[in-house]
Structure 1
Amino acid sequence: MRLYLFSLLLATPLLALAQTKPTPAKAPITLTPGNMQLQAGGGAENRPDHAPEFPGGEEAMGEFFTKNVQIPVKAKQARVTGDVLVTATVGTDGKLINPKVAKGLTPECNAEALRVVQTLPPWQPATRRGVPVPVLVQVPVPFDNAGVVKFENDRKVPRSTKDAPGLN
């Protein structure tokens, strides 16, 4: 009887723990140049004081992608639009290391995004107390099919009404 009571006393707290809901995972912190600040007491050892920056900023990166991204033929035909999200580490020398597709569009667009990200010029690396540190970044590579959209906007008469009898 004593053994039964003892095991019951041990099992009660375990049952209460099993019924509690797990806490939701926190969203990852996105480090941006305007959102960086020194932490009191120095903060975590791996948190930079200054985020990595593309030379010339976001506008220059957009121009780089406009000049270098070649939309695959299949994506043009299917009118695929959107961004391929690539993650990579900006090393202490500013070069992007180990790029991977985090969110893709099509296999062809994903391959093109990886190709273009690997040709990006070196970034200004992140620093912690003045010392360069490696930081993981997310780079959205745009696939907007601007040529296809422009062609459709330049049309005067929709194809369905142009070919209809009695409207010409």
Structure 2
Amino acid sequence: MASSVSRLQHKSWTNGSYLISTDTSLIPVPTLNAWFASDDWYWAKAIPEQVLHETLQQSLCFGMYHESDEASKESEFMGFARCITDFTTFIYLTDVYVLPSHQGRGLGKWLMKCVQEVIESMPYLRRSLLFTEDWKRSVPFYKDLLGMDLLQSKPPTDESEGEGLAVLMRKGKGNPGYQET
């Protein structure tokens, strides 16, 4: 399993001057923690930096960077997604974020396509999950882009849909109910 973990934690994609990498050593922990402390991250708050560093090391993280100057090779950290996973059968997607100054350029979709590429490369994955309270933007986004289904313990009423926590799930290749899309 160590080789598959290493393989997944050292992937990268480029799109013009943008880079997505699963290498956690590239993630500026103080910047990420500042994002956690911001009002943009309604689902989390900052944690001690050492704890955040350990959290990142134990997760499959996708950092998004913009190369601001060709000569200096300095990169701006501008997006993030984290998967809590055993690297074999289960993924819980969380902490998806693109800086507001970079939104509206299709970068969030690209980030999710990179996550989906990794998910689809896992032959024994049973399911991927995510939770959100953003019914207007996030539920349609993840349903359309990642092919996730909305899970509910009871059918919604007209009054209850769009309230509370939405749980989305997609079956993986290791699930007996998996169907190729």
* TM-score of the superposed pair, with normalisation by structure 2: 0.25
Bigger share in strand:
2
Q: Higher helix fraction: Structure 1 or Structure 2?
A: 1
TM-score, normalised with respect to structure 1: 0.26
